[in-house]
Structure formats: C-alpha cells, structure tokens
C-alpha cells in the first residue's frame, strides 16, 4: 500500500513539474515572439506648478522607430502646439510617438515667445542641472526625452516665407515660414557613419509638397549650417535641435509654418509635415489627423479656440 502511495506522489509531482515547465515555456515564448501590446500613457512632470509638462507616449503593437514631437517652446506660435496636441491620442500600429505639445507652458499661457526665463530655445547649450534659469528643469526634461527618441521635431511658426535666394521682403533667406530647418547638411557620427540630414529633410519636404496644392506654401529645406563660422544663425547653437543633433546624434528638424496664413492653414501645413515624417520613417497609425483647413477650423470652433 505504502509503495502505491509513493508511486502516486511521484507521478503527481512529475505531472506538476511538466505542466509548470510547459507553462513557463509558453509565457517565455509569448514574451519573445508575440508583438507587445499597444501602449498609451500620459506622464505629467512638475504637476501642480505653472511649468507642468504633459508627455504623451503612444506605442504600437509592432516595434518601430520613436518620433519625439515638441511644440510650445515659443508661446506665440499657436499653430505649433495646436498641431502637436492633435497627435496626443492617435492610434499607433507600428513605432512610437512621444508628444510634448506645450513644453513652455508659461509662454503658451501668456501667448508670448518667452515664459519665465527668456527664450527657452536658447538654453540647450547649458550643462544639465545647471539651474541658471527658471526654465532649466524643463530643458533638462526635454534632454532626457531626446535620449529616448530616434527622430526629434520642434514645431514653430515663423514670419514670411523662407527662400534660399532673395525674392522679396517677405520671401528671402532670413525668413522662417514654410521650411524644414536643419543644422547641417550631413553630420559625421563618431563611428564613421554619416547622418544624412539634408536628404532626409528633402524627402519629407517632397512628401509634404505633394499634398500642398498652392506652390507658394511649399516647404523648403533651410540649412542654418549652425556650427560654421559663416553661419547666419550662430544663435541656433543654443537650440533644441542643435543639441539633439550634436550631443545626441539624432535626426533633428524644426518644422516652421508661416504666420502669414490663417491658424487652420498653419495647423494643416504642420499636420501634413508630421504625417510626412511618420510615413518616411515607417511609423504607422490608424487615424492620422485631418489635413484640410475646413475640418481643422471646425475642430477649433468646437474647442472654442477660434471663432
């Protein structure tokens, strides 16, 4: 009788062991081969202060590149932050979006270029934990987010229309509207590879312009050639995109919509540009925001942001 009991315990133990092992194997397999779950998360930094920064992280089921979109670094460029927040709840199938619609909340609330500490886009050359400006902690947060991204965008609105040659007071090399800004044509990476920023920006401009009927609003690539001694824009050495390229070696661009159009038009142009970069890098979504100004005007009216 005692022997039967021992055999029963042995068989039962073996059954449990095999069951557990197979279950563990299944779990391991599911981690390694199944795609990850889509992920939507909003993280709020400096909550309860006037410098709160909401960071929306949206990941798809399929792995892919991460695009980080900043807006609202200048509070008087509503086209930028109103465009960025349209991406805060898109459904991503492949890749990741990290969206920061209002990086400089005090500036956005005031509707001014500057918030608490001067121009926030001139603080990125300072070392982390420098604390020389009331904006330092927000700049440090932006730098941390940049480290997590493959591609970095900063959305702006500028006056007039950028043109590589002088055409008129409104359309010339010192204007900023309707351009993809890069800090260098090509950036030499420490491993000997080249980051081909100009051809990347050109491809995005080409995709964008194929969706913009009126040629006067076509995007051009504006290389500020920031590190060069002959650069017209040495001040950009303190900017977010320059930091992202030179310190973090990311594909970094600024998209500038013109201020010489209606707000729904500016949002339409920046939306077209973001959809284009997503297409270019292979981030797939189920529901990209609409790009026609009439729908955008309706959205703004519903939110009571435009009459």
Q: CB of 39: closest distance to Zn ion in angstroms?
A: 30
Nearer to Zn ion, 109 or 189 (CB): 109
CB-wise, 151 or 255, nearer to Zn ion?
255
Comparison of 66 and 240: residue with beta carbon closer to Zn ion: 240
The contact pattern for Zn ion, residues 147-176, with x = CB under 5 A and - = no contact, is ---------x--------------------
**Residue placing its CB nearer to Zn ion in the complex, 77 or 183:** 77
Minimum separation from the CB atom of position 169 to Zn ion (A): 20
Q: Which is nearer to Zn ion, 217 or 255 (CB)?
A: 255
CB of 256 to Zn ion, least distance (A): 7
DSSP E strand stretches across the chain: 39-45, 53-59, 62-70, 92-100, 151-158, 161-162, 171-172, 179-182, 187-188, 194-195, 220-223, 251-258, 284-285
102 belongs to the binding site for Zn ion (CB under 5 A)? no
Pairing between strand 284-285 and 92-100? antiparallel
CB of 64 to Zn ion, least distance (A): 28
Q: In the complex, what is the shortest distance from the CB of residue 74 to Zn ion, in angstroms, rounded to a whole number?
A: 4
Contacts with Zn ion, 59-98, as mask; x by CB under 5 A: ---------------x--x---------------------
Q: Convert 77-114 to b/e letters by CB count within 10 Å (16 or more is b).
A: bbbbbbbbbbbbebebebbbbbbbbbbbbbbbeeeebb
Question: For residue 223, what are its two tokens?
Answer: 């290389």
Compare residues 59 and 258 and give the one whose CB is closer to Zn ion.
258
Nearer residue to Zn ion within complex by CB, 181 or 283: 181
255-287 CB burial, b ≥16 within 10 A, e <16:
bbbbbbbebbbbbbbbbbbbbbbbbbbebbbee
Give the nearest distance from C-beta 239 to Zn ion in angstroms.
10
Q: Name the residue among 134, 130, 85 with its Cα closest to residue 274.
A: 85
What is the phi/psi pair of residue 241, to 5°? Answer: -70, -35
d(CA 103, CA 138): 7
How far apart are CB 121 and Zn ion at their closest, in Å? 7
Q: Could you list the residues that contact Zn ion (CB under 5 A)? A: 74, 77, 156
């Amino acid at each position: 009788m005692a022997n039967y009991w021992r055999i029963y315990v042995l068989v039962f133990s073996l059954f449990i062991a095999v069951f557990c092992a197979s279950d563990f194997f299944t779990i391991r397999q599911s981690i390694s081969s199944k795609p990850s779950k889509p992920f939507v998360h909003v993280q709020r930094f400096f909550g309860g202060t006037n410098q709160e920064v909401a960071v929306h992280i949206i990941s798809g089921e399929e792995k892919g590149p991460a695009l980080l979109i900043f807006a609202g670094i200048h509070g008087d460029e509503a086209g930028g932050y109103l465009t960025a927040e349209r991406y805060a709840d898109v459904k991503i199938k492949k890749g990741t979006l990290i969206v920061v619609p209002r990086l400089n909340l005090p500036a956005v609330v005031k509707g001014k270029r500057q918030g608490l500490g001067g121009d926030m886009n001139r603080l990125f050359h300072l070392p982390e934990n420098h604390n020389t400006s009331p904006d330092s902690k927000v700049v440090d947060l932006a730098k941390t987010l940049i480290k997590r991204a493959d591609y970095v965008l900063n959305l702006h609105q500028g006056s007039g229309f950028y043109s590589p040659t002088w055409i008129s007071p409104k359309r010339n090399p010192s204007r900023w509207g309707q351009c993809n800004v890069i800090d260098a044509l090509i950036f030499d990476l420490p491993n000997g590879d080249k980051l081909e920023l100009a051809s990347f920006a050109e491809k995005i401009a080409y995709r964008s312009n194929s969706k913009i009927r009126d040629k006067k609003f076509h995007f051009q690539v504006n290389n500020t050639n920031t590190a060069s001694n002959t650069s017209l824009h040495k001040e950009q050495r303190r900017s977010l995109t320059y930091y992202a390229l030179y310190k973090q070696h990311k594909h970094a661009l600024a998209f500038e919509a013109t201020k010489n159009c209606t707000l729904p038009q500016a949002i339409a142009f920046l939306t077209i540009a973001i959809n284009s970069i997503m297409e270019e890098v292979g981030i797939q979504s189920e529901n990209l925001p609409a790009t026609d100004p009439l729908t955008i005007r309706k959205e703004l009216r519903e939110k009571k942001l435009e009459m």
